[in-house]
Amino acid sequence: MTPPLYIAFRFLGHRKRAFFLSLGGVVFGVAIFICTQAQTQGFAKNFIDSTLGSNGALVMRSRIQTLKGAAALPPLPVHSPHRRLFEGISNASEIMRVSRQFSNVVACSPVLRGTLTARAGFQNATVDLFGIDLPLHLQTTNLARQIESGSLDDFRNNPNSLIVGSRLAAALQVDVGESIQLLSPDGEYRRFVVAATARSGVGVVDSGRIYCHAKVAQSLLKKPYTTSLIIFKLRDPDRAPALAAHFETLFNHETESWQEREEANLQLFLTIRLSAAITVSLIILLAGFGIFNVLTMTVLSKVKEIAILRSIGYRRGDIGAIFLWQGAMIAGAGSLIGCGAGALLTLLVAHIPIRVRGLIYANHFLVTWDWRHYLWATLLAIIAVAIASYVPARRASLLSPVATLRGTSG
């Protein structure tokens, strides 16, 4: 242990109460920062995983036709007046065959989508119908894991069966084995049996989506094409925007990444995370002010000792180091204990029961474990304490030993 470090340790030992108050502020700030970031990121991650598992990382839709005279223009946005969109994908099999050759593409699934009215008993609802090829859809989405009641085998073996979103089933007051009528565009109702209910965790999906077989969907919706969109599962969803732009140029179809599709919700989660981080950072900043006061009072109470140290050969830098070491000990101990307290607090919060049935589905607080939360909390604590320690350390190093000893001897 170097002399400045040893002296710093002794100085702190003489003001135990102030030391523990300062330490407690750092511990509290670090722990709360870690816990709040784990919560906000946990809800965001749950939403992202749920939407990727239901809607894919990429969605390809309408065919794009560039109007005459626009070919020489720079790349145009999809909704440019120089472009026209045509519903339906006529060459879905060929597009899927080519797209599977891309290393980032895990699987893809054709879907025939449309809006219908569903009726069960005295209940009616507007539903989002997904006509799917079940084997391909199971490879591309998490539908198999989303089944809440009923059986996929019943759906697979019965062309007149449906998989209904859990919240939609509750709204229509139907259960597995009961019937639902779907109104086709020609005004006729067709009766189907509920083979299973599914809960994706995404409110808009669970409250409005019905899955049926692709051929049945084409018959119901009266569409001249078999595919209105293709859903893609990617190995690296973060690279979806670049692949979407490439697919749009390659296949001449409107292609949207999940980041673009969920931009509003992602911005909402990001805003909440930043707001929580800023609020909790203020707690760490307040702890820094407490450390500033403690070290300033230590300097004022140790003026004579500082003068003696200077008179026996300690340099200005050595004196400053004593008080910087005090701040470093508070920051180090506070960060270490705070990280442990943050992990424990996060674990406790994860078991608090809540009921969320809106944008996402949750029965308890959702948290995520990320080492970066601990790194950022520690860095914030170190920066706040370093700033708080600098001014008292500089003030101590500038004290004149001669003037100080004369003042104490008189």
Beta strand spans in 334-378 (E): 353-357, 361-364
CATH 3.40.50 fits 111-227, yes or no: no
Do residues 143 and 162 lie in contact, with contact meaning Cβ atoms separated by under 8 Å? Answer: no
**Mean pLDDT of each 10-residue bin along the chain, 410 residues long:** 60 63 81 89 87 92 68 48 75 92 94 92 90 94 92 92 93 92 85 93 90 92 90 94 93 92 86 83 74 66 61 66 75 88 91 78 82 89 80 66 51
Enumerate the domain spans of the chain.
3-52+265-409, 111-227
Instruction: Return the pLDDT at 410.
Output: 40
Which pLDDT score, from 0 to 100, does residue 402 have?
A: 57
Count the Cβ atoms, other than its own, within 10 Å of residue 351.
9
- Helix (H), strand (E) at residue 17: helix 16-55
Q: What's the 3-state SS for 195-233?
A: EEEECCCEHHHHCCEEEEEHHHHHHHHCCCCCCCEEEEE
Query: Using CA atoms, how far apart are residues 214 and 135, in angstroms rounded to an integer?
Result: 12
Check residue 292 and report its DSSP letter.
H
At residue 365, the 3 state secondary structure works out as coil
Query: Which of these, 258, 248, 257, 250, lies nearest to 76 by C-alpha position?
Result: 248
Dist. CA 107–CA 232, nearest whole Å: 6
Give me the pLDDT at residue 312, please.
63
Q: Are 190 and 182 in contact (CB under 8 A)?
A: yes
Which pLDDT does position 316 carry in this prediction? Answer: 65
Phi, psi angle pair for 176, to nearest 5°: -60, 135
Find how far residue 217's CA is from the centre of its chain.
34
* Confidence (pLDDT) at 328: 77
Q: What is the model's pLDDT at position 193?
A: 94
Helix (H) or strand (E) holding 272: helix 263-301
53: tokens are 């598992």
DSSP 314: -
What is the model's pLDDT at position 5? 60
Q: pTM, whole model, 2 decimals? A: 0.76
Element housing 70 (H / E): none
Name the one residue in this structure whose structure tokens are 């078999």. 226
Which residue, among 290, 296, 132, has the nearest Cα to 212 in the 3D structure?
132
Which residues on neighbouring strands pair with residue 65, listed in sequence order? 84
H or E stretch covering 188: none
Q: What is the pLDDT of residue 247?
A: 93
